[in-house]
Amino acid sequence: IWLNPLLRYDRFEPKALGVRALLPHVDEFRPVHNIASLASLVEALSDAHIHKAPERRAA
């Protein structure tokens, strides 16, 4: 999960090389610029434990 206050802007583009290198490894982008966006994040994380993938066992 990538949390970024700049994601609230429609024209935001990840231009920095470090950020662009990170993009293939990001499953979800979330803005964190106000209380509503933080509340949405908390809700998503709370729901995530319900939909958690099964644990992997060592072979």
Per the structure, the count of domains in the chain is: 1
Tell me whether residue 16 is in a domain.
yes
Rounded to two decimals, what is the model's pTM? 0.58
Query: Domain range spanning residue 16?
Result: 2-48
Of 27, 43, 26, nearest to 35 by C-alpha is 43
Indicate whether 50 pLDDT > 70: no
From residue 35, alpha-carbon distances to 16, 39, 45 in Å are 27, 6, 15
Residues β-bridged to residue 29:
2
What SS3 class is residue 54? coil
Q: What is the pLDDT of residue 49?
A: 60
- Which residue type does 50 have? I
Tell me whether residue 24 is in a domain.
yes
Tell me whether residue 14 is in a domain.
yes
State mean pLDDT over 7-15. Answer: 88
Mean pLDDT of the chain: 83
Q: How far apart are CA 23 and CA 14, in angstroms?
A: 9
Tell me whether residue 12 is in a domain.
yes
Tell me whether residue 35 is in a domain.
yes
